[in-house]
Structure 1
Amino acid sequence: MVTNNISQSKFVVGMSKQAAKMNKNVALKALTQGFMGTTIISLGVSLFSIIVNLPIKPWQTFLNATKIFSTVNAALSVTISMLGIYVVMSVAYHFTKLKKENPITGVLIATSVYFILMPLSINKTATSININYMGSNGIFTAVIVGLVAPALYVWLTHKNLRVKLPATVPPMVSESLEPLWSAMFIFSLAMIIKYIFLFLPGGNFFDFIGDVISAPLNHLALTPLTYILFGVLCNFLWWLGIHPAVLMGASMPLLTAATTANVSAFLSGKALPYLIFSALGGLINLGGAGNTIALVSLFPFAKSDRYKSLGKLAFIPNLFNINEPVVFGAPVILNPFYVIPMVLTTLASGLITWGIMALGFVPALNPTVQPPYVLPNVISNFLSGGWKFAALAVIAYLIDILIYYPFFKVADNIAYKEEQENLKKEEKKAESK
């Protein structure tokens, strides 16, 4: 038993150290913060998307007649469907800021490089940009440019490649001109890269990344099974006490690419290419990582005062996907009773709901609806997929309860016995006095 505890302790310490290293990685932090920064775009227009897509015929007729529907769709096209441009700006901003250089300069340089690399249609009267390159086709390029361009700017700045002006020049002018040499070098490099990629598969940097790197990666990673297994890994890490946010930086480019591709298809009236993949997000982690809302739902039926009391405190936060009170209060972290249900709930509910969806139970979703994370899953599922998608969340919830129940009963019985033994000890002390 001692040997097992020592081995477990070493394993946990080792995993925690690796997670700490990942958490300190500037690139991963910039990715995480950068993608989180873009949520104001998706959340900012989601309410309008819900309103104009209500399946009420008189309402739809009114919206089309007054051109409100086309106006909102246009707004969706330049926001959610063009996340690439917002991603490159947000990632570049956070990367440069973390490196303690001027974040606005990093954003301007990265955004310029993004457009330099983008293929253009040029004729005598106009220059046009294909906005598809700012959507799902441009997410990976946005990530690369958002990290590499500001990294080059920071490196060149640290090498003192600056325009040095006399002290008599106003600070506002000197600060704006300081990165000029760095910008010229980076822009020149971007143009050289653009030229080289004219002769490579795809004919340009964006299509090369999309066809050679992004598409095969999406084919391997953007599958329902991969999403479920990723959720299982996140839940296991959470059981170890390592917050799943550690992995989110690496996964966000893929998730965002899938969402953007779905939005583009939806606005074009086409079938969603990642329907089930995206739907699983609202089914495999109800109440937060580990599906702990199912566990908390059992607490009112506990025999022990410990779990009854915790249920009163943890249920409301957990309903809104904030599960730290139960994870740390039960505790779920490093509790041998809960490691199996923490990972098994996601695996079982994911596979079962995937099977139901594969039968066509939920034929479509509205990917332009991006409810806030704290909204209860049943409600957010209803807003994006109607009553059938909400019903799937209920099914997943019932599956999670069935899995948690036997483990909870064992833990509750042990807690109850401990309480009874402590009560007897207190009574004996009182009698002896």
Structure 2
Amino acid sequence: MQEQKGFSGFINTKVMPPIMKFVNTKGVRALQDGMVYTLPFIIIGSVFLILSNIPIPSVAAALTASGWSAFFSQAYNVTFNILSIWAVVGMAFVYVQNEGYEGLPAGLTALATFFLIQTLSIANPVKTAMGSGVTNAAGKVVMTGKAVTANIDKLPKALQGVMTAPVTGVLNITWLGGQGMIGAIVVGLVVGWAYSAMMKAGWKITLPEQVPASVAKQFTAMIPAGVIITVAMFIYAGFSYLHTDLLQLLYQVLELPLQGLSDSLGGALVIAFAVPFFWFFGIHGGLIVGAVAGAFLIPNTAANATLYHAGKLSLANGAHIVTNEFYNNFINLTGSGITIGLVIFTLFAAKSTQFKTLGKIELVPAIFNINEPFLFGIPIVMNPMLAVPFFLVPVVVALSTYFVIRVGIVPPLNGVAAPWTTPAIISGFLIGGWKMAIWQTCTLVISTLIYWPFAKSYDNMLYKKEQAKLAEDEAADKTAADAQ
């Protein structure tokens, strides 16, 4: 017991302080709270993603024929599919707001900067279409894409330009979704920091008191916004000479490696272990891990959603295994530590009054993936007797879920973002169909099997203490009665 106390002391005095210092930095707080602004659009967009991809052929065909599938796709495209816009505005807004200044002008400045650093063009759709070749009325390829490309130069130069020049003056929606997320994070945080620094330094236009406050605020933001946008313009110009832009560079250098790391088995196991690790010491592991990991997992979700929307969801086409829904609906299923197995034990096998009472209290919250009554009531926090299953269950579930998706037993998660309070099995169906719902049921069984022996041992200890206390109280009552 003394050794455990010493280990706990080491964690609390040596390990946790630097971690908490990092978590409480201005940037991480802005990242965590700013990403929250994407959630309504992710969830709303997920509804339209489901409606535009109903997994019932007859219904899907009817929706396509009626045109409603296109309407649902439009709603998906302007919510879920441009989540980087919501993120960049939200993070700059929160950063500056936390510094005590008006946040919205900073958020809009970040949005302008985000657009400015990317090339506002898309590939010519005619050229892209010709890449697959020319087909006849029957759909048969009569000239390969290679042959078409080789013969373009035989056309008049004006026609060549029309067919090959990129379409300019448009927003490339590719960079407004998951692929632009790291760029959005960088821009949001840097703009938030720079805007706040200039405000603190007094770089603002102060108008007389007679000017309406709504007008004065816009002039206050003018100098910081102007400086930031001017610098961004020079950055864009510099990258233009290299025939690229900063957003593409950030995607290649940062986002792709980080997505690969988060989507690996090792990444899944680290995340699965980290959540209960923080909780065991009384720190909200879900918030800490979710804030950091979400920045890399949400783009994975968005990428899968794009594949699902296009009807190409498979690992062969680049679908990710570990997404934000993998985190929410497996690693944190029924609450951090996947404590549903402990709930089941308390309801059907517990002998101690403490377990029975808390099991009844926790049942409904557990259905909606909330388990604070157990974490602090049993407690699980700082309880060595329940530490092993609390750490082990999420790791086993993460490992086994990764495996069943990797080998093709269940399909990759479809990118639908079920709210984290969605009950198990229902959430499994939404995020991956009936096979995923069945697998979620299996994870509930895994939780029960692992928690059961540890819960039984701890329950026996509690029951013996309760019986001893009851006997002690009865003896005291009898002594008091005899004295009378």
Q: TM-score, normalised by structure 1?
A: 0.94
What is residue 365 of structure 2 aligned with on the other side?
317
Deviation at 1:359, TM superposition (A): 2.5
Partner secondary structure for residue 322 of structure 2: helix
Distance 1:274 1:100, change over 3 A: farther
1:276 aligned to 2:321? yes
State which structure, 1 or 2, has the greater radius of gyration over its C-alpha atoms.
Answer: 2
Structure 2 distance, partners of 1:306, 1:217, is 44
Q: 1:222 touches 1:274 (CA, 8 Å); kept in 2?
A: no
Q: Percent identity?
A: 30
Distance 1:320 1:65, change over 3 A: same
Which of 163, 187, 192 in structure 2 is aligned with 1:150?
A: 192
What is residue 262 of structure 1 aligned with on the other side?
304
Which of 337, 348, 353 in structure 2 is aligned with 1:305?
A: 353
Structure 1 distance, partners of 2:390, 2:214, is 55
Structure 2 distance, partners of 1:335, 1:170, is 59
Matches within 5 A, 1:35-184: 35-121=35-121, 127-184=169-226
Deviation at 1:78, TM superposition (A): 2.1
1:218 aligned to 2:265? no
Partner secondary structure for residue 379 of structure 2: coil
1:332 aligned to 2:332? no
Task: Give the paired residue count.
Answer: 431
Q: 1:283 touches 1:392 (CA, 8 Å); kept in 2?
A: no
Structure 2 distance, partners of 1:14, 1:319, is 36
What is residue 250 of structure 2 aligned with on the other side?
209
Superposition RMSD in Å: 2.1
Distance 1:342 1:3, change over 3 A: closer
Deviation at 1:404, TM superposition (A): 0.8
Deviation at 1:285, TM superposition (A): 2.5
Structure 2 distance, partners of 1:356, 1:183, is 49
Which of 374, 377, 386 in structure 1 is aligned with 2:421?
A: 374
What is residue 12 of structure 1 aligned with on the other side?
12
Partner secondary structure for residue 180 of structure 2: helix
Q: State the AA in 2 paired with 1:336.
A: P
Q: TM-score, normalised by structure 2?
A: 0.84
Distance 1:178 1:275, change over 3 A: closer
Structure 1, gaps ≥5 residues long: none
Q: State the AA in 2 paired with 1:384.
A: I
Deviation at 1:124, TM superposition (A): 12
Deviation at 1:400, TM superposition (A): 1.4
Q: State the AA in 2 paired with 1:92.
A: A
Structure 2 distance, partners of 1:303, 1:124, is 72
Structure 2 distance, partners of 1:199, 1:43, is 40
Which of 262, 266, 279 in structure 2 is aligned with 1:238?
A: 279
Structure 1 distance, partners of 2:215, 2:79, is 33
Structure 2 distance, partners of 1:387, 1:4, is 44
Q: State the AA in 2 paired with 1:375.
A: T
Q: 1:19 touches 1:246 (CA, 8 Å); kept in 2?
A: no
Deviation at 1:199, TM superposition (A): 4.3
- Worse overlay, 278-287 or 383-392: 278-287
Deviation at 1:8, TM superposition (A): 2.1
- Worse overlay, 350-359 or 369-378: 350-359
Partner secondary structure for residue 338 of structure 1: helix
Partner secondary structure for residue 363 of structure 1: coil
Deviation at 1:250, TM superposition (A): 1.7
Structure 1 distance, partners of 2:450, 2:307, is 37
Q: Deviations over 1:350-374 (max 9, x none)?
A: 222322222212134431x221111
Deviation at 1:50, TM superposition (A): 2.9
Structure 1 distance, partners of 2:320, 2:7, is 42
Structure 2 distance, partners of 1:341, 1:59, is 44
Deviation at 1:238, TM superposition (A): 0.8
Structure 2 distance, partners of 1:303, 1:221, is 42
Q: State the AA in 2 paired with 1:316.
A: V
- Worse overlay, 261-270 or 162-171: 162-171
Which of 437, 440, 445 in structure 2 is aligned with 1:398?
A: 445
Structure 2 distance, partners of 1:206, 1:27, is 20
Q: State the AA in 2 paired with 1:343.
A: F
